[in-house]
Amino acid sequence: MGRLRDGPEARLVKDYLARTARTGARLGLGPATVEEVEDRSGGGREAEAALLLRGIPPGAALCVLDERGRLLDSPAFAARLADWRDAGTREAVFVIGGADGVAAPLRDGAGLLLSLGPMVWPHMLVRVMLAEQLYRATSILSGGPYHRV
């Protein structure tokens, strides 16, 4: 939800997604893109959920980022991406909700409810953290040196 204006966060997202595309291509992952939606009507979480649902392709793996979700370390997140790929899932969608979170029907329909920790983060930083974790996952899966345990 929302638009990320040009600035340091947008540049970081762009950089990490470019890295993800380069590393992931050899693994059958990516490229990752950002699709932004805005609820100009001010309809709240339900209106946002309707907008978000329209952008989810049929058969896509759905991961909703939510503070009540599962905590995964980076290797487990990478394994989840690999599992989706290996199961023949062609697309994965990661939903970052608006300021009030994601409506229950969308959240409950997710195959993975993922938390980035118990703290609440602004969506612009969540985008950066998710983009970095996507790159880290491709690095882990390729055996690259970026991730060190």
Local mean pLDDT, 10-residue blocks, the chain (149 residues): 76 96 94 80 76 87 93 97 96 86 87 92 91 97 81
Total-model pTM: 0.90
- Report how far apart, in Å, the C-alpha atoms of 81 and of each of 18, 75, 89, 93, 98 are: 17, 10, 9, 11, 24
What is the C-alpha to C-alpha distance for residues 25 and 31, in angstroms, rounded to an integer?
7
What is the C-alpha to C-alpha distance for residues 7 and 16, in angstroms, rounded to an integer?
14
Residue 63 has a CB neighbour count (10 Å cut-off) of: 23
What is the C-alpha to C-alpha distance for residues 127 and 65, in angstroms, rounded to an integer?
10
Chain mean pLDDT for the chain: 89
Query: Is the CB of residue 82 less than 8 Å from the CB of residue 141?
Result: yes
Give the helix/strand (H/E) hosting 130.
Answer: helix 123-142
| pLDDT one-digit tens code per residue, 55-88 | 889 999 999 998 889 999 999 999 999 999 999 9
- 106, 99, 29, 35: which is closest to 64 by C-alpha? 106
Helices vs. strands in the chain: H and E counts, helices first: 5, 3
Residue spans per domain, the chain: 8-142
Place domain 8-142 in its CATH homologous superfamily.
SPOUT methyltransferase, trefoil knot domain (3.40.1280.10)
